[in-house]
Amino acid sequence: MKVAFLASDMVEQVELTAPWKAVEQAGWEHELISLKGGEIQAAQHFDKGDTFPVDRKVGDADARDYDALVVPGGVANPDMMRTSSEAVRFVRDFFEQGKPVAVICHGPWMLVEADVVRGRHVTSWPSLKTDIRNAGGLWEDSEVVVDNGLVTSRKPDDLPAFCAKLVEEFREGVHEGQTATTGRTV
């Protein structure tokens, strides 16, 4: 299995590294996809964290080459990415192909921008609640929420449950219900 991690500068480091470790422990490959080549600068809350090498720019990535997607949070990370039509398309493509997706913290902004939350049960950092509801999502204040292959969590404290559920959903593979909720056909 090959998992794409979509992140940019100011990604919350632990929300990148904990799922990355879970994917590695499951024996799967992963690639870091970003808006630019080179490296991205992670954050540890509002302090600088480590840098991570980018494997592929999002404009050069194709969802068909991956089995699943992880979108970590951090306030600035998804806020920057949602302004990129290529990043939004990349996220939407996973839903249109029925592939599992795991998103945490502020990452659901990408789901809102990709127009894939309508009618779905989703959780996030609490400040996204109104955005998710305005996009037609059903926001819940829960540690982890699973809806047809979509795994969402609120914050770093939720990472153990988030990582366990993403591994479980990724193992299940394509979810037919994933494509039905986008209102689009594959």
* Number of CB atoms found within 10 A of residue 67's CB: 19
> Residue 66 region, left (φ>0) first, then alpha (ψ -120 to 50), else beta?
beta
Structure tokens at 132: 């998710």
How far apart CA 17 and CA 8 sit, in angstroms, is: 13
Catalytic residue among 30, 45, 105, 121: 105
Which is the catalytic residue, given 30, 106, 163, 175?
106
| 163 part of the active site | no
Q: What is the rounded CA–CA span in Å between residue 123 and residue 110?
A: 13
Residues with active-site annotation = 105-106
